[in-house]
Amino acid sequence: MTIWAVVLETTVGASERKHVQAHTVAHVTGSRADAFAELERRVPARRRRGVAVLATRFHRP
């Protein structure tokens, strides 16, 4: 089963000090559609610009 990370990327700072910060909002086990549903539930529509859903796989020994 794939574990998806819902990551919110935000541009902060001004001028030459501008940079991107990334925050993991949630981890979702299931399909990509499940990850997007969690994104819609947790992040308001006005903040979704710059949000990425990344696939990550965790291997347990």
Give me the residue spans of the domains in the chain: 3-56
Q: What is the pLDDT at residue 55? A: 58
Cβ contacts of 3 within 8 Å, gap of 6 or more? 27, 28, 29, 56, 57, 58
Q: What is the pLDDT at residue 46? A: 66
Nearest to 2 by CA among 51, 53, 52, 58: 58
Mean pLDDT across the chain, nearest whole number?
78
Assess whether pLDDT exceeds 70 at residue 53. Answer: no
Report which secondary-structure segment, H or E, holds 57. none
Q: How far is CA 38 from CA 5, 15, 27, 30, 50, in A?
A: 10, 34, 9, 11, 16
Q: How does pLDDT run across 9-36, given as a tens digit for each residue?
A: 778 888 888 898 888 888 889 888 898 8
Could you identify the residue written with the tokens 């990334």?
Answer: 22
